[in-house]
Amino acid sequence: MKIQLQQLDTPNKNQRVYPKEVMQKAIDEINSSGRPLFGTIGITDGPAIPLCDVAFTVNNLRVEDDYIVADAKILNTPKGEVLKEIVSSMSYRTAGVGNVENGVVQPGFVISYVSAIPSSDAA
């Protein structure tokens, strides 16, 4: 399924801006690795997901109309089964590691995983 991850060059709910050029470099690194990103329900502590929390995989990240979009596959894991039941009420966002200055994500940002969060909480 195609998912929308986040809008670029526009402040989100947290007043953070993800510049298109910074995020394109992060996307290129993910895509060139040939490995999918893991996804979880909710936000984890830190830049990694415990394997027992993996609910879906994400690949083919790209920019379309100033949004990062990707292809996602819900897995047959315990968390994946939960996500199947609530998928229509969820939004998706990248989680990563990097610096932020004056609310703007700086070059060098690395996407670590993707979170599925309730649409009402989407940043």
Q: Judge whether residue 87 has pLDDT over 80.
A: yes
Domain residue limits at 72: 2-121
Residues 6+ apart with CB under 8 A from 24: 63
- Computed over its alpha carbons, how large is the radius of gyration of the chain? 14
Mean pLDDT score of the chain, rounded to an integer? 92
Determine how many CB atoms are found less than 10 A away from the CB of residue 8. 19
Which residues sit opposite 58 in a β-bridge? 37, 72
The predicted-structure confidence for 7-58, as pLDDT tens digits, reads as follows 999 998 889 999 999 999 999 999 999 999 999 998 887 777 888 899 999 9
Total domains in the chain come to 1
Give the pLDDT of residue 48: 78
Give the pLDDT of residue 119: 83
Q: Model-level pTM? A: 0.88
